[in-house]
Structure 1
Amino acid sequence: MVGKALETLFIKIWVIVKLNLFFWLFSCCGLLIAGVGPALKTVNELFIRHEFNYKDITLKEGWQSFKENMIRGNLLFYGVGILLLILGYNLFLSVQIQGLLFLVIDFILVFGMIYSLVAFQYTLLLDSYYEIDLINLIKLAVISTLSSFMNLLKIAIGVGLIFLITWKYKGLFLFATFSMIQIWSFTATRSWRQTIDQRLEGYA
Structure 2
Amino acid sequence: MIGKALETLFIKIWVIVKLNLFFWLFSCCGLIVAGVGPALKTVNDLFVSHEFNYKDITLKEGWHYFKQNFVRGNLLFYGTVLLLAALAYNLFLSVQIQGLLFLAIDFLLVFAMIYGLVTFQYGLLLDSYYEIGLKNLLKLAFISTLSNFMNLLKIAIGVSLILFITWKFKGLILFGTFSMMQIWSYTATKAWRQTIDQRLGLHA
* TM-score normalised by the chain length of structure 2: 0.99
The letter of the residue matching 1:54 is: Y
Match of 1:155 in 2: 155
Matched-pair contact (CA < 8 Å) for 2:197–2:203:
no
Match of 2:103 in 1: 103
Paired residue type of 1:123: G
* 1:133 correspondence with 2:138: no
User: Partners of 1:65 and 1:176 in 2: how far apart?
Assistant: 20
Shift of 1:203: 11
1:185 aligns with 2:185: yes
Q: Deviating runs (4+, > 2 A) in structure 1?
A: none
Superposed, 1:1-204 pairs within 5 Å as 1-201=1-201
- 1:128-185 per-position Cα deviation (integer Å, ceiling 9, x unaligned): 0000000000000010000000000000000000000000000001100000000000
Aligned residues between the structures: 204
Q: Which amino acid aligns with 2:24?
A: W
Query: Percent identity at matched positions?
Result: 80
* Counterpart-to-counterpart distance in 1, 2:23 and 2:138: 23
Give per-residue Cα distances to partners, 1:59-79, cap 9 Å, x unaligned.
Answer: 000001000000000000000
Structure 2 spans left out of the alignment, 5+ residues: none
Gaps of 5+ in 1: none
TM-score normalised by the chain length of structure 1: 0.99
Cα distance, 1:14 vs structure 2: 0.1
In 2, Cα distance between equivalents of 1:77 and 1:126? 14
**1:38-87, CA deviations, whole angstroms, 9 ceiling, x for partnerless residues?**
00000000000000000000000000100000000000000000000000
**Matched AA of 1:124:** L
Instruction: Give distance in 2, aligned partners of 1:194 and 1:27.
Output: 31
Distance in 2, Cα, partners of 1:203 & 1:192: 13
TM-superposition CA deviations, 1:70-119 (whole Å, max 9, x none): 00000000000000000000001111111101000000000000000000
Cα distance in structure 2, aligned partners of 1:200 and 1:64: 28
Secondary structure, aligned partner of 1:69:
helix
Provide, for residues 16-49 of structure 1, a one-character-per-residue CA deviation record: whole Å limited to 9, x for no partner. Answer: 0000000000000000010000000000000000
2:62 maps to amino acid: G
Shift of 1:202: 7.7
- Alpha carbons 2:16, 2:180 under 8 Å: kept: yes
